[in-house]
A = this chain, B = another copy of it.
Amino acid sequence: MRYSKHQLHTFTSSVFIKCGMSREDALQAADVLLASDLRGIDSHGVARLVGYIRLWEAGRANMQPAHKIIHETPSTATLDADAGLGLVIAPKAMQIAIEKAKNVGTGWVAIQNSNHFGIAAYHAMLALPHDMIGISMTNASPLVAPTFSKERMLGTNPICIAVPAQKHQPFILDMATSNAANGKLEIAQRVNKPVPPGWVQTATGKESTDANEVKNGGSLMPLGGHKGYGLGAAVDILSAVLSGANYGPWVPPFVTFLNPLDELPGKGIGHFVGAMRIDAFRPADEFKKHMDNWISRFKNAERIDPDQEVLIPGEPEYRMMLERDTNGIPLNDKVVKDLQDLGKKFDIQL
């Protein structure tokens, strides 16, 4: 079953408004979720709406946050998100980063006391119309074990970098620092298929191909071994140790059937975003022409299989966006049921 972007956007923002969110913030939050569905990242789109609402019902998310800047220099700021949704605060943080970049070349904002911010790409991409490179990252509920450990210590902690080009679509790398993206694991669980080696390990730390391992006390494995552990750790440090949020195993779980730990070292979860003005380094037109050249050359790299083209980061998501913008967004039965239940609760038609 497919739903139009407009239909899901209206439904989503209406639900947020019923929870007390301002109209402006609700439209923003719906924008982030729909961008995820349009780009084909089904795990982070409207499928998560019910999760955000549960956080609010559990008193763990504030739908009327008064965020504030608690620390600042010409190129940096630290924000307290007042327990609001990352969906709402991260775009505001990017706007602050963009303003700082306009003034002094780059802007960097660390955010504490937040909740999950959806897909990283949405936020980093806000820099693109300003001829800036956008960067965004976040920590998340612990699921990934460090190398040599069987304990869940890190989230899938994604990193995004968005770079503008001229005639080509922008370069957009948006990647989890675990081998398995959550979404792909969920799909494998649903169809009960084995997952590739390196995705998950058992509760005792043995490699496994059972997609249900994480449900049974196991953990996700970091991208490519110890390097992915290091990358995920760096994201945790920039997002949370730098901002004053919770880090490592203390990051509060997104699911409300698990409670946050006691004696937390920080507030909420953390994000880190940045914007770099291209013409703080070289003229933007010159840069974008070279990005076009970079992209063309990589598209034309010699193929292994003549029928399998070489892809540029962001290219599959862009194509998906065009397709779903036209044909609508497919939702599975479980997600439709969740949305219908939300609709009943808040008296809104899906």
Residues on A close to B: CB < 8 A? 71, 73-76, 78, 103-106, 108, 110, 133, 145-151, 153, 161, 163, 171, 173, 175-176, 179, 204-205, 223-224, 226-231, 233-234, 236-238, 241-244, 247-249, 265-266, 276-278, 280-282, 286-287, 290-291, 293-294, 297-298, 301-305, 308-311, 313
Contact = CB atoms under 8 A, between A and B. Distances in A.
Contacts of A305: 148, 205
A97 to B, nearest CB: 11
Question: Which of A133, A147, A205, A298 is most buried by chain B, counting CB atoms within 10 A of its CB?
Answer: A298
B161 A291 contact: no
A241 B173 contact: no
Contacts of A151: 301-302
A175 B74 contact: no
A309 to B, nearest CB: 7
Contacts of A237: 163, 171, 291, 294
A73 B302 contact: no
A76 B276 contact: yes
Leading 5 A-B pairs by shortest Cβ distance: A73-B105, A205-B304, A224-B224, A76-B105, A173-B230
Given A150-B303, A266-B290, 10 more contacts: A74-B104, A76-B106, A149-B310, A171-B233, A171-B237, A223-B224, A241-B290, A243-B281, A243-B282, A249-B297
